[in-house]
Structure 1
């Protein structure tokens, strides 16, 4: 077995890369649910490249800091595959989060996929080492996987349970720690032995050539981080930051006559309340689910609940209002429930919390 150590500066740099990539990817998707399908796909793809590329870059920045007593190389093909695996798996998680109803099961599933993506990327990347072979057993892999999955689920849950700037920052820290912790837990459980034969599938990369590729990747991540960071700390468009004042408890809001407002291509339109199946909170704003459409509404969830109470809308969950007339079926669980919808393409079901269960059941005649 070979003795090894790490360059402290590169260890710190690897954590910084993971944090910058995490912030950029998580903030880039902020508000993506309000975009039309094509633009949302583009944003998700871009975020997947940044987050997956950040996982890959963090790994190889840390590997550049790995100090072994022998010269070793990397197989270029396997190194490329490790990057693509990370991007694809993170992309799959983001597709679930932005194209499926965002339930707790979806959030946990996306977190598990991200955690497994970090693990797979790490061990595929390690498999690309030439003239030096990593040695580990199944227990080592299970421990590293558990650390990665738990921290990744925490990161996705924090960042997506409530899409505020505070949650995105906390999710960034959790994501960065997930990537960083998994790498060094796995590396700490790995031994290295010298081998005589390179046995690579592609051309060999030495540390100098690899450093050039990693530097370009980190440069792009830093650039994207600066661009998103300016939007995060600076003034944002009115639709993204302006909070509508909550109505005073002692007075009702002014009645609305035109319908429920929603934004499309820079214009405000109005929807008939009876056509709306459900409303979901999106930060300080809401999303309307109406047939095949998913529309951005400038009302907060509290304002929507107050204004639409005469129309029969009920709060089913802290993040959802439902129109009982559109509920096609209901499922009772142990201490909560689920409302299901037919003909609402963007939303198939809405969770019902325990505290809201009696009102929903009463409205459905159960």
Structure 2
């Protein structure tokens, strides 16, 4: 069998890198802030993140394969091609479930990164096996290098993106993840030779390069749309300071707190007054009512703890216990017990708040632990 010469279209190589970057950003940013959401909501977004990351790995591979220029005509087996996409999505889904439903430690970060790294390699070689009338021939050294590089780069990407869930870390993790998928593909290709074969071993119907191009364009279009939607919501909208300043300069206008501002009402001296939620450190249930704790005061609020959580969501507060909501920005210390914890505050009449076992993980995530 004669080894075939091959080259790559540089524009499609660049396009494959962009696809990997978009997929990485979409998947990693979609899963931001899940610890404050319901379990059902977390599962839905993890599925979407897995589809974005896994589908992006698959799309990157076949965008690059469209740029592979060989002197013969070849096809892809549709069943094996589909299987390679499902493998990538399922493997990424397993890694995300570990990250979001297990205690997030250095071990789970490494484990998740290695799972995704192995998934990238598995998707690559399974996708390559779909080629018909052309056979890819590998070397043990090439496979070993691609596997080690994939695991190492994916571990770094997940450690950065999930070590601290800041916007900066997500962006850096996106770059590392996109480069990891891109580099592993071409590192594996560098250790691959191609030979022409006369027989076909297809499992399902064959796909030509033209049909593959249509499929890749459609998946890339969906990824672009998801990337744009994620990018729009990634950065918080600017505060309307100009409008607030203009109202403040009008002496005849009385500003009344509205539901859109989500001010918290409290009773004092026979009057209903309002406090900014950002200045409240803890909301504690007291029968059908609640007490608000700021740095200097303890205030009585007519809301129940359930109503307070409903009215202030989404917002800065997170439930730590059936009787407590806390603002993580005011936490001055945290102590882990056997199966629960305690948050410490420098507030009037309240020094610490219990953290129940079921709420321990989201509380730690909100504190960046």
Between the two proteins, the alignment pairs up a number of residues equal to: 300
Q: SS of the residue aligned with 1:97?
A: helix
Match of 1:124 in 2: 126
Cα distance in 2 between the residues matched to 1:91 and 1:136 = 28
Q: SS of the residue aligned with 2:4?
A: coil
Cα distance in 2 between the residues matched to 1:197 and 1:244 = 70
Q: SS of the residue aligned with 2:357?
A: coil
Q: What is the RMSD computed on CA atoms of the aligned residues?
A: 3.5
Q: SS of the residue aligned with 1:18?
A: helix
Give the unaligned 5+ runs of structure 2.
240-259, 262-275, 282-293, 342-354, 365-369
1:1-366 to 2 correspondences below 5 Å: 1-233=3-235, 235=237, 253-256=295-298, 264-267=309-312, 289-290=320-321, 297-300=326-329, 303-305=330-332, 315=333, 321-322=334-335, 324=337, 344-345=357-358, 347=360
The alpha-carbon deviation at position 296 of structure 1 amounts to: 7.5
TM-score by length of 2: 0.73
Give the unaligned 5+ runs of structure 1.
269-283, 306-314, 316-320, 329-341, 352-366
Going from structure 1 to structure 2, the CA distance change for 1:174 and 1:209 (only over 3 Å counts) comes to: same
Cα distance in 2 between the residues matched to 1:256 and 1:129 = 70
**1:240-296: CA deviations, max 9, x gaps?**
xx9969x9xxxx93255679x89744447xxxxxxxxxxxxxxx96855548x9x97
The alpha-carbon deviation at position 166 of structure 1 amounts to: 0.5
Contact kept? 1:100, 1:346, Cα under 8 Å: no
Contact kept? 2:120, 2:181, Cα under 8 Å: yes
Cα distance in 1 between the residues matched to 2:118 and 2:181 = 11
Cα distance in 2 between the residues matched to 1:243 and 1:66 = 57
Contact kept? 2:13, 2:67, Cα under 8 Å: yes
The alpha-carbon deviation at position 99 of structure 1 amounts to: 1.0
Going from structure 1 to structure 2, the CA distance change for 1:147 and 1:285 (only over 3 Å counts) comes to: farther
Cα distance in 2 between the residues matched to 1:99 and 1:236 = 32
Contact kept? 2:340, 2:357, Cα under 8 Å: no
Bigger drift between 10-19 and 229-238 goes to 229-238
Match of 1:363 in 2: none
TM-score by length of 1: 0.73
Contact kept? 2:61, 2:185, Cα under 8 Å: yes
Cα distance in 1 between the residues matched to 2:54 and 2:138 = 24
Going from structure 1 to structure 2, the CA distance change for 1:288 and 1:5 (only over 3 Å counts) comes to: same
Cα distance in 1 between the residues matched to 2:184 and 2:174 = 15
Cα distance in 2 between the residues matched to 1:145 and 1:236 = 44
The alpha-carbon deviation at position 152 of structure 1 amounts to: 0.5
Cα distance in 2 between the residues matched to 1:134 and 1:80 = 19
Going from structure 1 to structure 2, the CA distance change for 1:38 and 1:175 (only over 3 Å counts) comes to: same
Cα distance in 2 between the residues matched to 1:326 and 1:61 = 48
Going from structure 1 to structure 2, the CA distance change for 1:179 and 1:256 (only over 3 Å counts) comes to: farther
Bigger Cα Rg: 2
Cα distance in 2 between the residues matched to 1:192 and 1:167 = 39
Match of 1:333 in 2: none
